[in-house]
A and B are shown apart, each in its own frame.
Chain A
Amino acid sequence: GAGVSQTPSNKVTEKGKYVELRCDPISGHTALYWYRQSLGQGPEFLIYFQGTGAADDSGLPNDRFFAVRPEGSVSTLKIQRTERGDSAVYLCASSRGLASPEQFFGPGTRLTVL
């Protein structure tokens, strides 16, 4: 595709519910990153995939957060038992990997937990 796409663009859920956020990276990009961003802050790293495997998941805040990338392309970020503090914009980025590490970001999913 022309760029990184993320769906949905907005998600409103109730505390305790389960949500899935989807990211479609740029075709041919092997690396995929998830970040979240709160108002007035810089993006906070969550997890990084190289191909199908999670190369670094040290940014996931707790075990309610999980992400997959089963075929090395589309990725899904899953949040269980959502809490109000999970409200943020969730950003996805992709890159060609080590040789060309420039990251290209999607528009984000704004998650609101009521």
Chain B
Amino acid sequence: SQQGEEDPQALSIQEGENATMNCSYKTSINNLQWYRQNSGRGLVHLILIRSNEREKHSGRLRVTLDTSKKSSSLLITASRAADTASYFCATDDRPGQNFVFGPGTRLSVLP
């Protein structure tokens, strides 16, 4: 079944720097979502990008999708200590199907 794989597994940056995380998947997708999770409980939805979209923005977040490379990236600009969390991508391969999550990227933003 469809699965996203985030890269890198872990990332440490200084406050104020930009953080980029990538998600690769194996087969064609319908939608791709990015989530944030703090302290292992409750995921927060960040952005959904559809297969016919290439880029979406939300505040300091920018998501791109390259269906030819079967990959997506999440960019967090001007990072803050509060951005420290695990970030997951999730994909579905057709409408009405469940989403499959990758193992996540653990981001640490150091003050």
The answer to whether A and B belong to the same complex is: yes
B95-A98 in contact (CB<8A): yes
In the bound complex, residues from chain B placing their C-beta under 8 Å from that of A14 are none
Q: Is B85 an interface residue (CB 8 A)?
A: no
B111 → chain A, closest Cβ, in Å?
Answer: 24
Q: A91 and B43: CB pair below 8 A? A: yes
B82-104 contacts to A, CB under 8 A, are: 88, 90, 92, 95-104
Interface locus among A16-24, A37-45, A62-70, A74-82: A37-45
- Whether the pair A42, B104 counts as a contact (CB closer than 8 A) is yes
| A residues less than 8 Å from B97 (CB atoms) | 56
Q: How large is the interface on A (under 10, 10 to 19, 20 to 34, 35 or more residues)?
A: 20 to 34
Chain A residues whose CB sits within 8 angstroms of the CB of B41 once the complex forms: 89, 107-108, 110
A98 and B96 alpha carbons, distance in the complex (Å): 6
- A109 CB to closest chain B CB (Å) equals 10
Answer whether residue B33 sits at the interface, using C-beta atoms and an 8 A cutoff: yes
Q: Which residues of B contact A39 (CB under 8 A)?
A: 40
- Residues of B near any A CB (own CB < 8 A): 31, 33, 35, 40-45, 48, 88, 90, 92, 95-104
